[in-house]
Amino acid sequence: MSGVHRHAPPAAVTSGLFAALDVRTRLVATLALVVAVVTTPRGATDPILGVAAVVGAIVLSSAVPLSYLGKRLVLFAPVVLAILGLAMLSARADATARAIDAATKASLALLACLPLGATTSQPELVHGLSRLGLPRTLVLVLGAFVRGVGHLGEEAARLRAAREARAVGGRRLRLSLFGSLLGVLLLRAQARSERVHVAMLARGFRGESTLRPASPLRAFDLGFASALVAILVSVRLLP
């Protein structure tokens, strides 16, 4: 096996306006976009069109490939169809309008999140949340979770390879074997977490997180965040 772990994919996009921003600005901008989308009143056509235009501009400036956006929007299509389908079953007169509103906002909110997802790796995301002032213990737990999920994935892949290497003539996974593999996976995860904890204690860890303090934001980031919030507020105030 290669020495390089593949469980935490790197950011898909490393160029463009969005990728150039500090991860904290990316998080705040995404949150602002989502809040603007979901708080726009139903039937307020101009504001929602305005917010959609801002989301579109951010997506375009982020240089996220259309294939990246397309795949994720296709994966989300069943949710949109389910919302619209449920509206058809409803007896309410405005059910269709409500469903279209919900589906539009859900799709826009997803679209608003995609530049963040494309430009930010998982560890960078945890790092950004830490620098935004998320409680340090929570950051530590989140960071350990991100790494733990990756390690679990690796262990699961190893178990799968070991099973398949000996599964001559019967590749179907029986329920009892699945339970056994799951048990082994959990035991390995527990053993790993204990070893990580011992290693933390060995370096003086006493239960309190001691992460690097946040560095100040650049003027570029502050300017971008201020401009975005100002535009979103103006758009939302449209009649």
Partner 1 sequence: MILQIQGLRFRYPDGRVALGGVDLEVGASERVALVGANGAGKTTILLHLIAMLRGEGSIVVDGTPVSEKTVDDVRRKVGLVFQDPDDQLFCPTVGEDVGFGPRNLGLDEAEVESRVHDVLAAVGLHGYEDREPHRLSLGEKKRVALAGVLAMRPALLVLDEPSANLDPRARRSLVDLLRRIEGAMLIATHDLDLVLDLGARVVVLAGGRTVAGGPADEILRDVAVLREHGLEPPLSLRALA
216 scored as a contact of partner 1 (CB under 8 A): no
212 belongs to the binding site for partner 1 (CB under 8 A) = yes
- Cα–Cα distance list, 22 to 19, 32, 56, 217 (Å): 8, 15, 20, 7
Q: Using CB under 8 A, which of 127, 225, 232, 236 touches partner 1?
A: 127
When asked if residue 203 is in the footprint of partner 1 (CB under 8 A), the reply is yes
Q: Is residue 10 within the footprint of partner 1 (CB under 8 A)?
A: yes
Our CB check for partner 1 shows the closer of 84 and 150 to be 150
| CA pair distance 10, 120, nearest whole angstrom | 8
Interface with partner 1 (CB under 8 A), residue total: 32
Region from 29-37, 57-65, 100-108, 205-213 binding partner 1, contact rule CB under 8 A: 205-213
The reply to whether 3 sits near partner 1 by the rule CB under 8 A is yes
Name which of residues 26 to 85 contact partner 1 (CB under 8 A). none
Q: Are 189 and 148 in contact (CB under 8 A)?
A: yes
User: Can residue 204 be called a binding residue for partner 1 (CB under 8 A)?
Assistant: yes
- Any idea what DSSP says for residue 14? -
Phi and psi of 85, rounded to 5°? -65, -40
Select from 41, 169, 170, 213 the one that contacts partner 1 (CB under 8 A).
Answer: 213
The single residue listed with the structure tokens 């989140």 is 142
Q: Residue 127 or residue 236: which is nearer to partner 1 going by CB?
A: 127
Task: Count Cβ atoms below 10 Å from residue 107 Cβ, excluding itself.
Answer: 19
Binding residues for partner 1 restricted to 146-185, rule: CB under 8 A: 147, 150-151
91 binding partner 1? (CB under 8 A)? no
CA separation for the pair 96, 83 (Å, rounded) = 9
Q: Which is nearer to partner 1, 16 or 123 (CB)?
A: 123
CA dist., res. 106 & res. 29, Å (int)? 17
The three-point CA angle 115-109-68 to 5° equals 40
Please tell me whether residue 126 binds partner 1 under the rule CB under 8 A. Answer: yes
**Which distant-in-sequence residues (6+ apart) come within 8 Å of 135 by Cβ?**
none
Residue of the chain from 121, 141, 163, 189 that contacts partner 1 (CB under 8 A): 121
Q: How far, rounded to the nearest angstrom, does the alpha carbon of residue 52 sit from its chain's CA centroid?
A: 20
73 or 144, CB closer to partner 1?
A: 144
**CA angle, corner 122, sides to 181 and 130, nearest 5?**
120
Query: Torsions phi, psi of 32, nearest 5?
Result: -65, -40
Query: Using CB under 8 A, which of 94, 195, 223, 234 touches partner 1?
Result: 195
Task: Provide the binding-site residues for partner 1, judged by CB under 8 A.
Answer: 3-5, 7-8, 10, 121, 123-124, 126-127, 143-144, 147, 150-151, 192, 195-196, 198-206, 210-213
